[in-house]
Amino acid sequence: MASLIDTLTEVLNGEDKEYQKLLDLSKSKTDVIVRGDLNALSVITDKEQEVVAKIQALEHERTRTMTEIAKILNTDVSGLKLDVLIDLLKKKPKEQKALALIHDKLHVTLYEMRLLNERNDELIKSAIEMTNFNLNLLQSARKAPETANYNRGAYNAGDVLGVESGSFDAKQ
């Protein structure tokens, strides 16, 4: 079982390393979003996909290792969380300490990721709102006011002053 705990610790350290890379990419993404550089955003997104693929492979390895540990402990794998496993390792303080350290480190890293992703999400929403505002402003500037021309039936003929230039409806 000691080798499984060592394997789990190595996998979790690998995950933390990859999450740190993802965190760095997210930080650079914030600057790119603020600048509105879509090409750079695309490059960062491609790099993020590569890191996420590595994280998924490590996550698969972590799941496999936790399943093996659960079999040895004769417990259900769905109930075997990392903090539960740390508590079960009271008789092995070295392994317990190593798992506790990486658990705390991963917790901090993922918390930072969540905060940064929320900030990036807000920046993207603001950019979309600004883009919609600018589109609406441009479209309304191209329209001239309707005249108050009425036909024989006292209905508004809806004539428009000026000529509307060719534009598209962004809402469709």
Q: What is the CATH number of the domain that holds 106?
A: 1.20.58
Determine the Cα–Cα distance for residues 79 and 77; give it in Å rounded to an integer.
5
Q: Is residue 28 part of a domain?
A: yes
Give the tens place of pLDDT for each residue, 152-164.
Answer: 666 665 555 544 5
Q: Is residue 170 part of a domain?
A: no
Determine the Cα–Cα distance for residues 31 and 167; give it in Å rounded to an integer.
32
Determine the Cα–Cα distance for residues 19 and 103; give it in Å rounded to an integer.
13
Can you give the residue range of the structural domain that contains 27? 2-120
Give the tens place of pLDDT for each residue, 23-66.
Answer: 999 999 988 888 888 899 899 999 999 999 999 999 999 999 99
CB–CB of 19/110 below 8 Å?
yes
Overall pTM > 0.85? no
Number of domains in the chain: 1
Q: Is residue 48 part of a domain?
A: yes
